[in-house]
Each structure stands twice: as structure tokens, then as C-alpha cells.
Structure 1
Amino acid sequence: MYAVIRTGGKQYRVAPGDVLKVEKLELPEAEAPNVVFTDVLAVSGEPGTLAKAEGATVTAEVIRDDRHAKILVFHLKRKKQYKKLQGHRQAFTEVRIKSINV
């Protein structure tokens, strides 16, 4: 069984037990260990079938909040003596999928 969820402007195919990194989730302290994704686009119960998910939810537990490795953004305009170097680290939340509720 798997589901397709949308969070952080991206879509993910998830199954129970999967660990994935999603865009940083701002959670209240009371809900910190668990997350419920309500924006479920599709659910597959059997191999080869895919159905729209109405009222389905995906429950996950938060493993950690962290940031990805640094990437360097370098701008250069040739022959103009213009160089600009900037670093960026994107924040993420790592979650483990517990269950898919249809």
C-alpha cells in the first residue's frame, strides 16, 4: 500500500516505514513527535490500482530537523570584474511514515 502526498510544494510517493526529507515543517510543541498529512492526492491499496483519496490521511513521526549540505551559488560577469559568491543551506524535516489511513 502506498500514497501520494503533497507538502512543501512537492509531491512524494510514500509507504509505511519510508523515511523521507521534506521541506521544514513548523510544528507546535504539542504535536512535535507526530505529523498528519491531510493533503493526500492518491492511494493505492492493491498492486496496479490507484484511486483518488477523499478523506485519507498519512501519519508520520518526526525524526529530526536539520539542514542540507551547503551549496555555493556563484555569479560571474565576464570581462566586467564582477564576481559574487553566496552559500545556501536548505532546512528540512526528516519523517518516518507510520500509517496510511483511508
Structure 2
Amino acid sequence: MVYAVARAGARQEKVPVGDYVTLHRVSRGAGSTIQLPALLLVDGDKVTSIA
């Protein structure tokens, strides 16, 4: 399974490839797209730290 751990304000979210995440307290309209900074990328046993 491939996923990223991304920073969303003061929280961290696990986001699998191709999935959507619902965030609260984001000043964007419903259905908007934003980019979150990745902290970790995980691909099976391989973990890459970004930050």
C-alpha cells in the first residue's frame, strides 16, 4: 500500500494514493482542491521522510 502522511494545519492525515480527505476548518469552498505538504511517503516497507 502506498500512502503519504501530510500536514493539514496542526494535524497530520494519512492519505492513500487516489483517496480524498475531508478537512475541517479550511477556508475553501466545498469540493475545492488544495495541496498539503507531505511529511512521509510510505511504499510497503520503504518509508521516505520529506520534512
* TM-score normalised to structure 2 length: 0.66
- Residue by residue over 1:24-81, the C-alpha shift from the partner in whole angstroms, topping out at 9 and shown as x without a partner, is 2113x8xx7321112x11112x311111125xxxxxxxxxxxxxxxxxxxxxxxxxxx
The structure in which a higher percent of residues are strand is: 1
**Other-structure match for 2:46:** 49
Could you tell me which residue of structure 1 aligns to residue 19 of structure 2? 18
Q: What amino acid maps onto 2:22 in structure 1?
A: K
* Structure 2 unaligned blocks of 5 or more: none
What RMSD in Å do the two structures reach over aligned CA positions? 2.2
Preserved contact between residue 7 and residue 23 of structure 1 (Cα < 8 Å): no
Higher relative contact order (Cα pairs below 8 Å, separated by 6+ residues)? 2
**Which runs of no fewer than 5 residues in structure 1 stay unpaired?**
55-102
Q: Count how many residue pairs are aligned between Structure 1 and Structure 2.
A: 49
Structure of higher CA gyration radius? 1
